[in-house]
Structure 1
């Protein structure tokens, strides 16, 4: 007599979809003929549902000695088409320094798209910025 074993896959929670790293570089003219590269940054995230993100990486690097500081923030597009601008994460340490933050995001208005803005600031005034390419939430 031969025994048969049947393997039946068990249902498992959906795997989080990780987006690719996206980045951009901000330039600023400051009254000179040739604009300077002043900041780079970017990040990626895991989509964990229609309303949430985990492992949200935010990265920024100050690339120019100019007396200004740089920052990065997350931006998401809600299900109604409006944008949610999350808090800025500022780096004040000066040229050649970088910093990253790891966080989560949850929005009852939905998260259809996600991207980052990298900016140069003078005090609380944004002087210039760039935006990374967006990533689409596969849950939509």
Structure 2
């Protein structure tokens, strides 16, 4: 009887371990290291930043911009950064000309060999090449 009890308890524990290790890790999507967003008249944008720490040199991110005003202006978004001495780093603009109620999504990797001190997005509304208004949101320093 003593042996049977030990065997049964051992079998239950072994079965639990096998069950737990056989289960998938998670069905939930991965959680970004940071989420940034900002809105200005006529435009809004967001970014999911998948890796972040001060000094990082390569940052994968997904970002999007939406045109939120029927005003015949177009919207743009870009990744912005600061080096470890707070000098600005600008990446190319991504433009959306399709009008009110539309937007676009992008995936990219921001790279800077000197290491980032901060990273964020800049969202703007334009008339031609003239910026009419903008907003920024940074990981470390917030909205500016």
Same fold (TM over 0.5): yes
Q: Of residues 98, 106, 117 in structure 2, which corresponds to 1:112?
A: 117
Correspondence list, 1:12-31, <5 A: 18-27=32-41
Secondary structure of the residue aligned to 1:75 is: strand
- Give the number of the structure whose alpha-carbon radius of gyration is greater: 2
Higher helix share: 2
TM-score scaled by structure 2? Answer: 0.69
Q: Of residues 58, 61, 86 in structure 2, which corresponds to 1:52?
A: 58
Q: What whole-Å deviation, never above 9, does each CA across 1:85-134 have from its counterpart, x for those lacking one?
A: 111000000000011100111111211211101100011111100112x2
Q: Of residues 30, 44, 47 in structure 2, which corresponds to 1:43?
A: 47
Count of paired positions: 108
Secondary structure of the residue aligned to 1:58 is: strand
Please give the alpha-carbon distance, in whole angstroms, between the structure 2 residues aligned to 1:43 and 1:103: 11
Residue of structure 1 in register with 2:86 after alignment: 81
Residue of structure 2 in register with 1:35 after alignment: none
Q: What whole-Å deviation, never above 9, does each CA across 1:12-58 have from its counterpart, x for those lacking one?
A: xxxxx93232211102xxxxxxxxxx11111121226721101x112
Please give the alpha-carbon distance, in whole angstroms, between the structure 2 residues aligned to 1:25 and 1:122: 17
Which structure 1 segments of 5+ residues have no match? 1-16, 28-37
> Which runs of 4 or more aligned residues in structure 1 lie more than 6 Å from their structure 2 counterparts after TM superposition?
none
